[in-house]
Each structure stands twice: as C-alpha cells, then as structure tokens.
C-alpha cells in the first residue's frame, strides 16, 4: 500500500549508487526530479528516460549519468555542457523493452490523484513504461514512487483491454505536488510554414485519419482544417496536441470511419497549452493507449485514408530522411517518426508527408536542406524505401514507386531555385557509374556467364555467350577499369 512521504523523505530513499527510470516528457515527476538536485552525495546514479521538460540540477552533479531515449532542449543544453547525458538510440515503441532490460531499482512517474476506487491516472502519458512501473511496485526489491498533482487531468483509456491507471496497492511511495504542468505554447509561424502547410492540406480529404506532431506546420494544418469545409476526421496520433483539440472543438472529428478504434481519438501522450489539459480531464473522446499499440505500423496501416504529417532536418536525393541528428549534433530522437512513415506506406490510400523548409542558415550561409547525398557521418532516420511524400514551400515530391533517378528529379524540383543547379550536378554525378562499380558489374557478369554455361551444360542445353566476356574475370575487370580511367 502506498505510503505518503514528503519530497525530502522520498529523495532520501534513493541510494548514492542507484538506478532511476521514468517515461517521456509529461510522464516525468517534476517535483521529485527537482528535489534530487538538492543532494551532493551521488556516487553512481544512473537515470534512464526521455525528453525532460525542465532543467534538473541533478544532471549537473558528479556521479550522475542520464541515458536518454529522446533529446529536447534540456538534453541538448546539458550535452553541450559536457555533462554525462547520452543518447540511447531506439524508437518510442522500443522504450518498454529497453527499460525492462535496464530494470532500474526505482521507477518514478507523475499522475492525477487517486479516485474513489483507489487508482491514480497516468494523466498525460501512457507510453511504454506502465508495465515497468507495475513490475517495480510489485517487486519487494524495487521501489515505485508516484508524484500526484491535482492540476493533472484524469484521462481515459479503453478498459478492460487497455488501462492507464495504477492501483495504490502497487505504489510504494506517494508524494504530493501542486505545481502547474509544463505547457507547450504554440510556436510562431511565417509565410514559409504557411506555404508548406498549404501543400500538405491538399492530401487531406473528407474523413481522413490524421496524425500530427509538434511544430508550426502541423498547427497551421489543424487550424485550417478547423476553419475549412472538410469534416468527419479520425485521430490516430502518437502525440495529442492543442491543434487536435481545436479540431474536436470545431466539430470536425467523428472517429466513425477509421477502421481501428472507431469512436475515439487514439494517442499515447499529450503536450500543449494548459487549456488542453483541462479539456482532457474526464474526456472519454480521447483514449490513451500503450505506445506499442498506437505506434505499431500494422495498426497504423489499418486506419482509413491516413495522412501522417512529420518534419525533417534534411532529405537527400535518394529520399533518405535525417530527422533527429544533423552535422553530428543530436537534436531529438527516433520517437515514432519511422513507425508512422512506414505504416502509412503500407496502404494505398494513405500518405506520409515529410515536411521541411527548403533552406537553412548554417554559419551565416544559406544551405539547401535537400542535399545531393547525406554528408559523411549522417544518421538516417527513415530509409529511402519508406519515404512517401516530401514537401517544401516549393511543392510536393511523391516518391512512392519511383526509380532512384525519378526521385532525384522530383526532389531537385522542390529545392530552393537558386540551389537547384548544384543539386542537378550532384544528381548527374551520382547517376554516372564509377570505375569501381563498372568493374564490379563486369566481375558479376563474368561469374554469371560461367555459372550459366555450367548449369546449361549439366542439362544438355547450349547457351551462347552473347556478352563475350573473357573467361579470366580478374583480367577483364582490370582491363575495363583501366579503360574507364583513361577516358
């Protein structure tokens, strides 16, 4: 049974050598994490989680390390300061098995206060940590601490299959907080964002199922849809945002034709303005489900007329997407980006939209975010075979089913006009076979000729060697490679 403790008492239960685990963003108990920073006796405190929404002094202390699954502004700052903040690569769906392998002795979470049935609501985050919270609470050698806050909403799920509550009987330590939850204000937008959003809106139709992420472009899309004539939308989105609330408030969401979880908007965590949290309180129109369900590409693909809207940092002419790291600097993480891109491409009436500005400013120079090839050391977030539609302010490039050459042509056409000539040169260089590639082709052709002759002879069939490749494959490779170099 849960024991009510003060913040100081709860933090005093953490050992100088210990492990603490928590979920992503709005799952993090702000009061407990702040209180951890009052101690200076850490010897080896390992913390595992993702996307801190505040700057916590505990990470500046000697003897403390943070294994993070998704960087935000706080992680980027701490990492730039040389603190022991390191990325653990993995998608949001992988957070549950990663946390289970880490198996921290202490699990922490924040929740809405218990109801009359003695259960706390995990409020704004279900994600991939509930099972680990329960395991910690039920293991006599581990500890589950929950920070309850009356300003957090009691959100809904889909019982009995899905549950976003925890019984008090499984909680070891309960602490109380009265702070306002982190509010994510709407980012400013400009005419470039509006142009990109305009291209994205052309893919939305009556009854589309929507998935949106953070940023000015998804917010503009939601606002325009709320004002427009289309309706009957469904929502299946890893993150529930202020913009998706506005769609509900405008009467544009029905969730009656998705084909999966009809009748409710589906999400696994929420971030937005304070009004969103009040709106979610007791609202059964929105169901919080585990991330392993919400972000499962096979589940995503079953939603009718899905339009998935995500951002990127850069895209190369092959269609490879860099969305979480640039120039060796970690910006965010994998999250659910790849899951929704892959899921959308499994259904003929679905569209995955990768939205980005055509240019960025780097060291005072305007550079293209559509690049010829990914720079050395780049981390690919989405492989080329999953990328569907890439959108900039100059248009949309629909890549599904196109050849490598066709993709490159379309991607050059949505780059900044002043930077297209260099991209066309890069496209032509990548299309021309290198001497090494030509040599390998000759080697393979020679091997294929010999194998074809051997197999045909074994079956009494005579095959003419129309390639006329010399039998000495290494000699032919050297000769042709030399010819290539001399031309």
Active site residues: 238
Residues 86 and 276: their CA atoms lie apart, in Å, by 32
For tokens 């937005």, name the residue: 272
Q: Do the Cβ atoms of 260 and 211 come closer than 8 Å?
A: no
DSSP assignment of 127-184 equals TTTHHHHHHHHH-TTSEEEEEE-TTS---B--TTT---EEEGGG-SEEEE--PPPP--
Q: Do the Cβ atoms of 264 and 255 come closer than 8 Å?
A: yes
Q: Pull the structure tokens for residue 338.
A: 């790849």
Nearest CA-CA partner of 396 in 417, 418, 380, 415: 415
Residues 455 and 400: their CA atoms lie apart, in Å, by 38
Q: Count the helices and strands in the chain (H runs, E runs).
A: 16, 27
β-pairing verdict for 306-311 and 209-212: parallel
What backbone torsions phi and psi does residue 398 show, to the nearest 5 degrees? -90, 110
CA angle 436, 439, 443 (to 5 degrees): 135
Cα R_g (the chain), whole angstroms? 27
3-class DSSP string for 309-324? EEECCEEECCCCEECC
Q: Do the Cβ atoms of 22 and 108 come closer than 8 Å?
A: yes
Which run of H or of E encompasses 22?
A: strand 17-24
Nearest CA-CA partner of 84 in 113, 44, 116, 121: 44
Q: Do the Cβ atoms of 350 and 301 come closer than 8 Å?
A: yes
Q: Pull the structure tokens for residue 337.
A: 């980006």
The answer for residues whose C-beta is within 8 angstroms of residue 355's C-beta and 6 or more apart is 196, 197, 200, 217, 309, 310, 311, 312, 391, 392
For tokens 């977030």, name the residue: 381
Which run of H or of E encompasses 67?
A: strand 64-68
Which run of H or of E encompasses 99?
A: helix 95-102
């Amino acid at each position: 049974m849960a024991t009510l403790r003060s913040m100081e008492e709860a933090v005093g239960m953490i050992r100088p050598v210990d492990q603490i685990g928590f979920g992503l963003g709005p799952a993090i108990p702000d009061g407990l994490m702040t209180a951890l920073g009052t101690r200076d006796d850490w010897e080896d405190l390992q913390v595992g989680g993702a996307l801190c929404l505040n700057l916590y002094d505990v990470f500046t202390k000697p003897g403390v390390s943070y294994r993070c699954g998704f960087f935000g502004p706080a992680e980027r700052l701490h990492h730039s300061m040389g603190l022991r903040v390191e990325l653990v690569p993995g998608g949001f769906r992988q957070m549950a098995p990663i946390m289970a392998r880490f198996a921290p002795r202490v699990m922490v979470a924040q929740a809405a206060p218990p109801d009359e049935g003695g259960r706390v609501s995990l409020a704004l985050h279900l994600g991939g940590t509930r099972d680990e919270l329960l395991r910690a609470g039920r293991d006599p050698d581990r500890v589950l601490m929950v920070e309850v806050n009356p300003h957090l909403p009691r959100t809904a799920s889909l019982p009995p299959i899905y549950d976003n509550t925890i019984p008090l009987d499984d909680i070891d330590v309960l602490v109380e907080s009265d702070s306002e939850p982190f509010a994510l204000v709407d980012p400013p937008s400009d005419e470039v964002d509006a142009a990109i959003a305009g291209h994205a809106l052309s893919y939305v139709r009556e009854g589309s199922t929507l998935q949106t992420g953070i940023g000015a472009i998804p917010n503009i899309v939601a606002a325009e849809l709320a004002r427009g004539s289309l309706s009957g939308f469904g929502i299946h989105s890893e993150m529930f945002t202020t913009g998706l609330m506005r769609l509900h408030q405008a009467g544009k969401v029905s969730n009656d034709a998705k084909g999966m979880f009809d009748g409710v908007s589906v999400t696994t965590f929420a971030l937005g303005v304070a009004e969103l949290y009040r709106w979610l309180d007791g609202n059964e129109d929105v169901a919080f489900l585990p991330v392993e369900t919400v972000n499962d590409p096979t589940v995503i693909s079953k939603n009718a007329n899905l339009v998935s809207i995500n951002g990127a940092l850069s895209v190369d002419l092959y269609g490879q997407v860099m969305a979480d790291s640039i120039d060796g600097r970690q910006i965010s993480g994998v999250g659910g980006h790849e899951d929704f891109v892959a899921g959308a491409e499994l259904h003929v009436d679905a569209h995955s939209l990768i939205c980005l500005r055509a240019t960025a400013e780097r060291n005072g120079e305007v550079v293209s975010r559509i690049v010829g090839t990914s720079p050395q050391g780049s981390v690919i977030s989405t492989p080329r075979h999953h990328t569907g539609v890439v959108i900039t302010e100059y248009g949309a490039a629909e890549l599904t089913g196109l050849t490598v050459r066709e993709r490159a042509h379309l991607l050059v056409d949505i780059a900044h006009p002043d930077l297209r000539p260099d991209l066309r040169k890069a496209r032509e260089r990548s299309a021309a076979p290198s001497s090494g590639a030509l040599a390998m082709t000759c080697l393979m052709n020679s091997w294929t000729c010999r194998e074809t002759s051997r197999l045909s002879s074994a079956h009494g069939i005579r095959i003419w060697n129309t390639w006329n490749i010399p039998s000495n494959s290494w000699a032919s490779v050297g000769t042709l490679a030399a010819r290539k170099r001399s031309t």
